[in-house]
Amino acid sequence: MPTNEDAGSTDTANSIDGVLVRSANPIPHASTSLKFLQENGIPFMLLTNGGGKHESERVKDLSSKLSVPLHESNFVQSHTPFAELTHGEKSLRDKCIMVVGGEGGRCRDVAERYGFKNVVTPGDIYAAHPEIWPFSKPFQQSYYSSFARPLPRPINPASPADSLKIDAVFVYNDPRDWGLDMQVILDVMLSHRGIMGTYSSKNGDTSLHNSGYLQDEQPALYFSNVDLLWAADYHLSRLGQGGFQASLEGLWRAVTYHKNHKSPPELYKTVIGKPYRETYSFAEKQLVRHRDSMFGKDHPTALRKVYMVGDNPESDIRGANDYESPQGVEWISLLTRTGVYRDQDGRRPTWEPRAIVDDVKAAVQWALKDSGWHQPLR
Ligand SMILES: [Mg+2]
């Protein structure tokens, strides 16, 4: 694609942490690389498994760190695809959803800005019914009262028809109080139709599928980030949202265990974020919308190639390699040496990228060359 007419049939998707910034500091050449893409009209998306804040806040933050003007339309966080569930046939917009994780009420704010009208947090439930989790201490009570809102309905086991009913459960970000959050999620998944305070009579019925578990119109359970570990200030990696998910599944196995079960009952769930296809498919759709806004809908060239630049073989590279675009777009994975992956010991990454490059600038140079772009990035 050597000419300007082809502008935009080559695009770049980027992982942020480990590619553009590392523990809040910009990685060398990140800013010049993004500026080059902007000046040359080459569309790009920034794709992160991070979250916990609204896209607009995150973009503002990143723009100032990198001194590059960015916009939320080319920015995808782990929970951004949840916004899609506020429209369409099965819209959850007016349903009562439970949002788990993140600092205080921040993820509730994010969900509301996505368009969800009726959002409950485990903190709201705790504030109204502290007996639901007897082990939270006084400092946790003051934490919850700082953002808790009155429940739309109380938990009323005597009259289930008037009791709080949860229609979907979303883990947006890392839970801050694993004990409470696990207890509440477990309660919902074992309930009759998501009605808090009830217990499904089908649970444990071996004549039913999945031994009767999750066969009683319980709500869907969504996770946004599968990363088991993440690099924090401590010298060893810390447990991430994937750790919470693994713990919840362990608990589920223990709670639903019975010697007569042919196989352990499954905890049905939907997991998005890198490396899952939902996230890549969302990013591709968003990229197409973003191109349309740059070039106009009637632009003659369709999106053909996306270069996925990432630092993490398990998420960025694996996801790009596995993703099969319904539009036939080719995803090409490029692994940088600026983050999770280091190759000093000569070890190959667990998921093989198309190329390994030093940093994001080298990745952009590789992509420009591969696509025959007319102007080099120096
Ligand atoms: Mg990364």
Give 289 Cα–ligand 1 centroid separation in angstroms. 24
Q: Report the alpha-carbon distance of residue 243 to residue 256 in Å, rounded.
A: 20
- Identify whether the C-beta of residue 201 lies closer than 8 Å to the C-beta of residue 192: yes
pLDDT of 2 strictly over 60: no
Which tens digits make up the pLDDT trace of 198-241?
Answer: 999 999 999 999 999 999 999 999 999 988 887 777 878 889 99
Which tens digits make up the pLDDT trace of 64-112?
Answer: 999 999 999 889 999 999 999 999 989 999 999 999 999 999 999 999 9
pLDDT of 45 strictly over 90: yes
Split at pLDDT 50, 70, 90, the class of 345 is confident
Give 19 Cα–ligand 1 centroid separation in angstroms. 6
Give 312 Cα–ligand 1 centroid separation in angstroms. 6
Give 148 Cα–ligand 1 centroid separation in angstroms. 33
pLDDT of 307 strictly over 90: yes
pLDDT of 298: 85
Split at pLDDT 50, 70, 90, the class of 22 is confident
Give 227 Cα–ligand 1 centroid separation in angstroms. 11
Q: What domains appear along the chain, each with residue ranges and CATH number?
A: 4-78+279-370 (3.40.50.1000), 81-271 (3.40.50.1000)
Split at pLDDT 50, 70, 90, the class of 15 is low
CA triple 36-38-296, angle to 5 deg: 145
Q: Report the alpha-carbon distance of residue 35 to residue 89 in Å, rounded.
A: 40
pLDDT of 25 strictly over 60: yes
Give 91 Cα–ligand 1 centroid separation in angstroms. 31
Give 15 Cα–ligand 1 centroid separation in angstroms. 5
Give 105 Cα–ligand 1 centroid separation in angstroms. 26
Q: What is the model's pTM?
A: 0.89
pLDDT of 6: 32
Split at pLDDT 50, 70, 90, the class of 10 is low
Give 18 Cα–ligand 1 centroid separation in angstroms. 5
Give 26 Cα–ligand 1 centroid separation in angstroms. 13
CA triple 146-147-150, angle to 5 deg: 115
Tokens for 90? 């099965």
Split at pLDDT 50, 70, 90, the class of 343 is confident
pLDDT of 262: 82
pLDDT of 243: 96
Give 121 Cα–ligand 1 centroid separation in angstroms. 28
Residue (of 152, 51, 64, 175) closest to 109 by Cα position: 51
Give 338 Cα–ligand 1 centroid separation in angstroms. 9
Give 69 Cα–ligand 1 centroid separation in angstroms. 21
For ligand 1, a single-atom ion, which residues have Cβ within 5 Å?
A: 15, 17-18, 311-312
